[in-house]
Chains A and B, each alone.
Chain A
Amino acid sequence: MITKAKDINEKISWKDLTTGCEIYEPGTSVLTKTGEWRVRTPKWVVDKCKQCLLCAPYCPDASIPVEDGKRMEFDYEHCKGCGICINACPFDAIVWEDEAE
């Protein structure tokens, strides 16, 4: 039995599947790069950002990482480009990349 999600794929034998298709580790979904779905890309305008963090909890994809109370650059590997963060920001510090000057 292969127990680590990173080693489980559609090429392995039925004998290597976890019993009952259980998973024994947390958050293995990060291995799926949903950033590939993105059609439009939000861009963080650092100069305008007041670090109010209103955007961070509104990302459905946990793609606005926060470290030591400050937001970091987007996790573009997972950001699906929904744009909720653009409207969440009161300071125009997030814009669509294709609309940025």
Chain B
Amino acid sequence: MAYNLKEEMNKAERFHSGHRLCAGCGAGIVCRAMMRAVDPEDRAVICNATGCLEVSSFQYPFTAWEDSYIHTAFENASATASGVEAAYRVMKKKGKIAENENVKILAIGGDGGTYDIGFQSLSGAFERGHDFTYFCYDNNAYMNTGTQRSSATPRFASATTTPSGTESLGKKQNQKDLTQIMVAHGSPYVAQTTLFGNMKDFHEKAHRAIYKEGPTFVNVLTPCPRGWQYPAQDLIAICKAAIDTCVWPLYEVVEGEYHLTYEPKKKLPVEEFMSKQGRFKHLFKPGNEWAIEAAQEYVDTKWEELLQKCK
């Protein structure tokens, strides 16, 4: 069914107001959109890793979720989801859940709970092939504890454990390419998206992921105004810059086949993305031009690799 914003927005809300995420937090937008991608007649169970989203969306006795929700710990959202999915299968088999009832099992975590501490359980659940969709709201650092670097933090970003200083230009390593790693697991559907102005790309990918049988993965670049140091209202502009500079390309991998879902008419230089955020401020001081060049070179190489795969 073709995407229709009006129809989407007419749907009943499944991630409610009153949650305690910071003003302008991208994760709130992600959760609302994720839940709109579950068909209204279907129920969902959300398995959430510890993080900003968890402490903000279910603070006793206030849950922001319309659907059932479980948080157990930081590193085990995928393992918890595996258990929910196993229970769903066996309860259907035993007739405890009616044949025509459809429950979608979703897991969601930040980059800390996904790229790093939760990676083992994520990898295990994907190898086992549980029928669930994992959404990562990748905000490029451990934001719940105050912007410590993660393996998703891009090179040269200043984080509180990789601060810029007289001897440092921020994080030394490039971002781990988790999306590719999830493709390598043989997942039937893996995609990258972000919040760049319309919701069609996000919605279609989320819907495909949720309704594709097997373990599927959606990686969402999700700005954090505090951690990235930009005015909250600029979220869309930053995401747009991320896709136009190819820092965060939009693509999906369906049964191993790569599809680019957005190709910028004119690929912009990485400065367009970096200059909007305080975490890269130090790169724009005289003498640090080499760092921006290195960042550009890395983005160009990754982009070329992706184009090859999408051919």
Contacts and interface: CB of A to CB of B under 8 A. Distances in A.
Interface of A: 5, 8, 18, 21, 23, 26-34, 37-38, 52-54, 56-63, 66, 68-69, 71, 75, 77-78, 80-84, 86-88
Contacts of B253: none
A75 B232 contact: no
Interface string B5-22: 111111001011111111
B60 A23 contact: yes
Contacts, number: 139
A5 B16 contact: no
Contacts of A54: 5, 197-198
B63 A28 contact: yes
A82 B233 contact: yes
Nearest to A61: B17
Contacts of B17: 29-30, 34, 61-63, 75, 77-78
A46 to B, nearest CB: 18
Interface in B1-58: 5-10, 13, 15-29, 32-33, 36, 57-58
Contacts of A21: 60-61
> Chain B, interface size: which category?
35 or more
B206 to A, nearest CB: 12
B196 to A, nearest CB: 10
Interface stretch (B64-72, B116-124, B184-192): B64-72
B62 A29 contact: yes
Given A69-B9, A87-B236, A58 B63 contact: no
Contact of A84 (B24, B60, B67): B24
A82 to B, nearest CB: 3
A56 B232 CA distance: 16
Which label, helix, strand, loop or mixed, suits the secondary structure of the B interface?
mixed
B24 A60 contact: yes
Interface of B: 5-10, 13, 15-29, 32-33, 36, 57-58, 60-67, 195, 197-199, 225, 231-237
Contacts of B60: 8, 21, 23
Contact of A26 (B36, B63, B232): B63
A83 B9 contact: no
Contact of A57 (B8, B57, B225): B8
Task: Name the residue among B24, B33, B67, B198 with the largest chain A CB count within 10 angstroms.
Answer: B24
A29 B7 CA distance: 25
A29 B27 contact: no
A57 B9 contact: yes
Contacts of B63: 5, 23, 26-29
B225 to A, nearest CB: 8
Contact of B18 (A56, A57, A78): A78
Nearest to A9: B61
Contacts of A53: 5-6, 9
Nearest to B66: A26
B278 to A, nearest CB: 17
